[in-house]
Structure 1
Amino acid sequence: MASSSGARKYPKRLYDVDKTPIQSRSMNHSSAGDDVVSELRESAVGVILKLKELEYIWSASCVHHFLANQLAIDNIHEMWSLIDCMPLRFSLYEFGEITGLNCDPLDKNEIWDVEHESFWLEMNVPTLEGPTLKELQAFFPICRNWSREKRVMIGLLCLLCVGIFGISSNSRIPLHCAKRVMDPAAFQRYPWGRVGFTSLLESIKVLTYDKKKSYTFHGCVHALLIWVFEFVPGLGEKFGNRREGAGVPLLSWRGSRPLMYHQRPKCKCIATPKSIPLNVAPA
């Protein structure tokens, strides 16, 4: 906009016109100190943070191909896909092997509780519900001066939102799970892998893949792509980006290879399999 005295003069552009760099990576920020990040990395859900630190490339087309070729089964605890006449199972066992998260059964005899109301009140969160990711993000600039213990709790809550429940920024973490961040021992022993798998598989089971332009998963969705790379012979070597000596399979891949746009498959990332009707049930 010009001023009354003439055209306003600005400093020279950092990049020339039409030469500004195109965003090719996610834009991230961090508010936690190194001491907090280190503790989060070694926590029971630390694999989620380690995955975030990788230059990970998600391949929705590859995962969609397997979801669209699911077999119609009644077992709510498993998903089966049939690719080129080869049945592939995705269950709690595969999820645990891929993520390394604790997938033990829930301890129905556990008697445990902790005082949590004061912390929620400090965060302006309803005392009968867990926080949302949006509420947690609002505290990033504020919690810099909080105690290390409280900053760790906020970090753990964020990891639960993003990597275990995989819920939207306005959805609340179940209270019985959220308040475990206030008891380190109770948090460490809880089977978060089972929780994350249940969240993921339930969202898969209720979706339809032929009537919507988009759909949303919950849980640790990245386990699906690594499952494809690990369990389909040759697929990971052809389209994946493997890392050596990374530990659990979830951290052994940087996702799909960062192909140039003109190299990317137009519709799917693997060869077209034989047509498989979705109403087929395994024998």
Structure 2
Amino acid sequence: MNTSILMRYSGIWVNELQYENYKIDGIVVGDSISFSNLKAAIAAELDIDVSRKEIEIRYIVEVMDPSINRRIYDSDDDNWKENRKKSLHDPMNLQKDSNKDHGETSKVVKIQPKRKKEAANTVVRPTLSRASILPLKYKIKKIPTHPIRFAVNFNNNFLKDFEKYVGDNVIQMFKDTIFGPFLDISKCNFQGQITKCLLLLELEQSNPNMLHIRNSNGCVLKFGIDDFALLTGLKVRGNTNDFKYPEQTNCMLFKKYFPGAVNSVTKHQLVQRFKMGNWESNQDALQMSILFFIHTFVLASIDNTAISIVDFLMVEDGRYQHFPWGQLSFSKLIGSLRQDFDVSKKLYRLYGMPYALNVWIYECASNLNSEIVVRERNVIPRICNWRVLSEKAKFEMLMSTIFQKNACSNIVPTAEEIEAFDIAQVEHAHSTSIPLVQPNEQDDLDDFSTRPPEQLLRTYSRVSDTSPPPPPKRRKKSIIQKKKVSEQKQPDQSNVSPTSDDDVHVSMSSLPQHSNADDVHGSVP
């Protein structure tokens, strides 16, 4: 026999009996389940890594009878059997039953025919040709029979949150930060069925940090970290070991708004504190807005994800402007796309910035249904150009229009984008042999410095989807010139970056190749 358990999680215990600001989920377990297996079932449902996090379980017995604090059943009454026997032989009850038999008090009940469940549409995908020397193969061999639905935790209403909790003055200050261009994003609802199409059309290849998508016109669409940089404008190259702080580094922002915390807070705590407002200064409001935006949009994750004090230190001293947030966001996104989709789940969680996948397909498609999405302008980064109209576009429509009837091609960076984003190896943007930049590697490429928002949001003349990239000589000349400028404007971080051998390194090396949402990209012991 099974038992349904209602779970309330990610909330706050006000006292021993009062639990507030929680989320609700549920599981079904057997009556004989052990406590350890119960914890494992809860962890699996909530995507919690029990090897790194401890689950605290409390329960409340719902009070049904105030006198004895438990439910009362007929079988618990000592006189129940005797009373039931008397009731069966009561003449009054016998008379009532007799009347029912003769139909004196019976009612006519119309039985509605059971509605037949509509059969789900059969999911089909194009057959791959095996005539070539290296035949193409789908990564997911067999189309899953269970539904594939996605849960995303990214905040597409961050501008409304800014207006409500920090005000116009702080929003104007936010526009001058590296994340300022994102304030110009139009309605950006995530269309999860696009991701389903991508997964079912993904091809086998050797680089786990790339997506190869089969299109009906014979083109293989390729999505990698350089494409992510073109779409978002975020920095994707850099050595995260450069961002380190000594032990016991004092962070006034952290102590001021999280006085009880030690070295980290959860995303839920950050969001709740941000929505409380009551800032001591506009500068504090700006810095908390930056952290709120990073962890609800750029690094979208579940509520119990730990946020290190290192993030607060970087925002407080301004070094966050040089941190490769795009590298971290892309790593989380591509990692969440590598989960096993053959295992049936109610929802598959995506992390990082999953909306970038939608924008990538919009840019690759030569023609889009205006009922799905419309291009409103031509600026960089490209994520600011689109307005989503159909929040729940159907899988069948997307598969038949964008991926079968539509001619798609890989996106090509313009000269303006090469100059703004310093894509030094643009000719290898879709090479499967180039891995993600590792933190321990010596990066011979110049890190593209963050440009002011007014330089990012310049209109550009988009090249056609089939046009080749700029001539090699012209591109090489552009890179050499930009490298000289970068050498002149390279910020001196010697005063803020400690060099002692005992310093704690804020490094991506502590992360697995495809990190989970619970991973912390920096920590101070």
1:90-105 alignment runs, 5 A limit: 90-105=223-238
Give 1:87 shift.
Answer: 1.3
Query: Partners in 1 of 2:342 and 2:183 — Cα distance?
Result: 30
Q: Structure 1, unaligned stretches of length 5 or more?
A: 1-24, 275-281
Distance 1:158 1:93, change over 3 A: same
Give 1:112 shift.
Answer: 5.0
Given candidates 268, 271, 276, the residue that maps to 2:400 is: 271
Identical-residue share of aligned pairs (%): 18
Q: Does 1:194 align with 2:323?
A: no
Distance 1:69 1:143, change over 3 A: same
Aligned residues: 243
Give 1:72 shift.
Answer: 2.8
Q: Counterpart amino acid of 2:351?
A: H
User: Does the 8 Å CA contact 1:96/1:102 hold for their aligned counterparts?
Assistant: yes
1:1-283 alignment runs, 5 A limit: 28-29=160-161, 30-51=164-185, 54-84=186-216, 85-106=218-239, 108-109=241-242, 112=245, 115-122=249-256, 123-124=258-259, 126-129=261-264, 131-140=265-274, 142-184=276-318, 186-208=319-341, 211-235=344-368, 239-255=372-388, 257-258=389-390, 265=394, 267-271=396-400
Distance 1:177 1:69, change over 3 A: farther
Q: Residue 139 of structure 1 aligns to a residue in which SS?
A: helix
Query: Partners in 1 of 2:189 and 2:240 — Cα distance?
Result: 36
Give 1:48 shift.
Answer: 4.0
User: Does the 8 Å CA contact 1:243/1:252 hold for their aligned counterparts?
Assistant: yes
The structure whose RCO (Cα within 8 Å, separation 6+) is larger is 1
Distance 1:170 1:111, change over 3 A: closer
Distance 1:203 1:124, change over 3 A: farther
Query: Partners in 1 of 2:340 and 2:227 — Cα distance?
Result: 21
Give 1:111 shift.
Answer: 5.6
User: Does the 8 Å CA contact 2:274/2:292 hold for their aligned counterparts?
Assistant: no
Q: How far does the alpha carbon of each residue in 1:6-62 deviate from its partner, in whole angstroms, 9 at most, with x for none?
A: xxxxxxxxxxxxxxxxxxx979542012121122233223344443xx223332112
Q: Counterpart amino acid of 1:79?
A: L
> With structure 2 as the length reference, what TM-score do the two structures score?
0.42
Q: Residue 271 of structure 1 aligns to a residue in which SS?
A: helix
Q: Counterpart amino acid of 1:249?
A: R
> With structure 1 as the length reference, what TM-score do the two structures score?
0.73
Distance 1:193 1:153, change over 3 A: same
User: Does the 8 Å CA contact 1:98/1:248 hold for their aligned counterparts?
Assistant: yes
Q: Residue 270 of structure 1 aligns to a residue in which SS?
A: helix
Q: Counterpart amino acid of 2:167?
A: G
RMSD: 3.1
Give 1:125 shift.
Answer: 5.4
Give 1:126 shift.
Answer: 2.7
Give 1:224 shift.
Answer: 0.4
Query: Partners in 2 of 1:225 and 1:209 — Cα distance?
Result: 23
